[in-house]
Amino acid sequence: MHSTITPQQAKALLETQNALFVDIREPDEYAREHIAGSRLAPLSVLSSLPEDPDQDRPAVFFCHSGRRTQNSVALLEARGFKEIYLMEGGLSGWKAAGLPLVSVKRPLPINRQIQMAAGTIILLSLLLSLVSPVFLWITAFAGAGLFLAGLTGVCLMGQLLMRMPWNAKDKGKAG
């Protein structure tokens, strides 16, 4: 069984009962912003993680907004903690309550940069095709590039974006 608690109640639980804060977001999200002392257990791999050694401590699970946490209750309950709490509003609720966060300024994840760049190229070339149909070739080229990236696992746009100045300073950092 689980209970939903407010961020303020979660903080009190941390202070009074040494609750374990479990962040189920993905590593890139955690690297940008997290609650100090929280444990990262990404939802995408949670079922394959070993049993937690601190199952006797109350566990407060959270994601960004609380939606992933609510949608994954059965998986979270299967982790074997005696007491399970879901933090209302997730990390956004914690932030809105004015509670402290560890924040690191980092560029968007490369997959999101690729999506934005490809979407922009396709949209602009389609709009420009209203002026001249030759611009449809750019749309076809972008689509072919995305298809080949999916087929081969090699994304030339991603390689190009990784060389951009805003990503170059992030090389070698985990997350």
Residues taking part in catalysis: 63
The answer to whether 77 and 104 are in contact (CB under 8 A) is no
Hey, CA dihedral for 43, 19, 94, 4, is it positive or negative? positive
Report the distance separating Cα 84 and Cα 36, nearest Å: 19
Q: Compute the distance between CA of residue 10 and CA of residue 16 in angstroms, rounded to an integer.
A: 10
- 39-40 vs 20-23, strand pairing mode: parallel
DSSP 8-state secondary structure symbol assigned to residue 87:
E
Q: Is 122 left (phi over 0), alpha (psi -120 to 50) or beta?
A: alpha
